[in-house]
Each structure stands twice: as C-alpha cells, then as structure tokens.
Structure 1
C-alpha cells in the first residue's frame, strides 16, 4: 500500500514541478508579459485571500511530499536485497532470493534436455514457490523431464538452504530446433 501511495505522490509531485517549470520558463522566456506577471504577483500580495490560500496550500503539500521522498531516500531498510530470514538456535540466517534462484537453476540445469532456464521465487506461508521457465531439446519426454526437474530442484534447494519448498512449477516455453540441414544434390 505504501508503494502505491508513494507512486501517487510522485505523480502529483512531478506534475506540480512540471507546471511550475512551465510557468517559470514562460516568464523568463518572455512568453508572458511583464505586466501580467507583475499583476499576478500583485494579486498574491494583495487582499485576494482565495489565491493566497491556494498558493499556500499547494506549497505546503509540495513541502510535505518533498519530506516524504527525502525520508524514503534516506531510510535504511531491507529493500536493498530481498531475502528469506530464518531463526536458528545459534542466531539468524538471511538467504537472498537471488541465491535461491541460482540454486534452483543449478539443479534444473543438471537435467539432460534442458537448454535455457530462468527462475522466479515467490515466498509463501508454506515455504517458497519456485517457477522455472525452460527451453528444452524436444527429444526427451516433456512430462518426464519436467517431473525430474521439479524433484531435483525441490530436493536440492531444501537440502542446501533448509527452507521448505512448497512447489516447483515448470513452464516449457519452447523447444530448440535441431541444426541439422539436409544437403540437396541436383
């Protein structure tokens, strides 16, 4: 929810800075006459409380949004490297998602018939879900190959990390076309 709100605030902030930049460029580039600019500033200093309220309100909102972005930029958090945290008798263990992806890729690539792999890890309450995208050679039975991949990935990741794997999904994206060309003799 915070990310959606930050994106909305960034949109409003960008729109406001854009409008302010266009106004300043219009005045400096003499697209707006000097008299019009001075009249507007005079209205701002005059007794027009509605205009003053709108300008003060907009300035306060921009300052608050600026402070929020400053806080987000300076805050230190776990956002730099998503990880899976475990507690043991001896202390805490943090394993990065990238490490689990690489372990899954390593186990899956050991299977014959697999040519290209990509992995994506999702953290679930029952463990981790591993989604693999594979390109296969097309000479091995796809159901047998994917079952072997699922089994080896699940066992390997659980053995190395100690994290339960709730599921391994394999998406066969394509098969590799063989490079054998028949020569034509005429």
Structure 2
C-alpha cells in the first residue's frame, strides 16, 4: 500500500513540477507577458486571501512530498536479495533464490534435447515450487523428457541445498526449428 501511495504522490508531484517548469520556461522565453505576471502578483498580495491560502497550502504540500521522496531516497532498504534462510547447529545459512534458480537450470540443462531454459522459484509451505520454461528439440518424447527434467531438478536441488522441493513444473514453450539443407548437385 505504501508503494502505491508513493507512486501516486510521485505522479502528482511530477505533474506539478512539470507545470511549474513550463511556467518558468514561458516567463523566461517571454511567452507569458509581464503584465499578466504583474497582475497575478498584485492580486496575490492584494485582497485575494483565497489565492494566498491556496499558494501557501500548495507550497506546504509540495514541501512535505519533497521530504517524503528525500526520505525514501536515502532510507536504507531492508529488502535485501530474496533468500532461503536455514538454521543449523553451527549458525545460519542463507541461500539466494538466484542460486536455487541456477541449480535448477544446471540440472535441467544436463538433460538431452533441452534448450533455452528459464526458471522461476517460489517458496511454499511444503517446500520449493520450481517452474521451468523450456524449448525442446522435438526428437525426444516430451512426457519422458519432462519427467526426467522434473526428477533431475528435484534430486539435484534437494541434494545440494538440503531444501525440500514440493513441485517441479515444466512448461514446454516450443520445439527447436531445425533448418534442413538440401545438398546441391551440379
């Protein structure tokens, strides 16, 4: 919710700063006449209390939004790289999700007939859920190949990391289009 609010604030802040920039450009380039600016300033310092109140309110809001964005920019984010944390007798172990992803890709890549792999890892109650996207060669049985990939990935990750794998899903996106060249006889 905070991120949505920050994005909304940033949107309105950008609009206001953009409008002020265009007004400044118009003043500097002479597109806005000096008479109009003079009349507005006279009205601001004259009897128009509503204009003064509006200007003060907008200025305070812009200042507060600026402070918020300054705080967000210098705040040290506690959102570190996503990882899987384990506690052992000797201390804590943190394994990054990228490591698990690469292990899954390595295990799946060893299967014959698999090309262009992508992996996505999700942590669930029962263990890791691994989703693989693959392009296969079309020469091997797809059900057999995907079963081999699932088995290999599950065993490899559980063996290397010690983290249980609940599910390995393989999505076969396409087959490799091989070009056949006919030999030319002259």
Normalising by structure 1, report the TM-score: 0.89
Stretch deviating more after TM superposition (31-40 or 73-82): 73-82
Aligned to 2:44: 44
Instruction: String of CA shifts for 1:118-172, please: whole Å, max 9, x gaps.
Output: 1122233333322111111101111111111112112212222222222221111
Q: How does 1:170-185 map to 2 (within 5 A)?
A: 170-183=170-183, 185=185
Aligned to 1:163: 163
Structure 2 CA distance for partners of 1:19 and 1:151, relative to 1, 3 Å: same
> How many residue pairs were aligned?
186
CA distance in 1, matches of 2:83, 2:58: 40
Aligned to 2:150: 150
Give ranges in structure 2 of 5+ residues lacking alignment.
none
Aligned to 1:26: 26
Normalising by structure 2, report the TM-score: 0.89
Displacement of 1:16: 1.3
Displacement of 1:83: 2.1
Structure 2 CA distance for partners of 1:28 and 1:132, relative to 1, 3 Å: same
Give ranges in structure 1 of 5+ residues lacking alignment.
none
Structure 2 CA distance for partners of 1:122 and 1:62, relative to 1, 3 Å: farther
User: SS of 1:120's equivalent?
Assistant: strand
Displacement of 1:13: 1.4
Displacement of 1:101: 1.1
CA distance in 2, matches of 1:42, 1:5: 37
User: SS of 1:79's equivalent?
Assistant: coil
Following TM superposition, the consecutive aligned residue runs of length 4 or more in structure 1 with deviations greater than 4 angstroms are none
Displacement of 1:87: 2.9
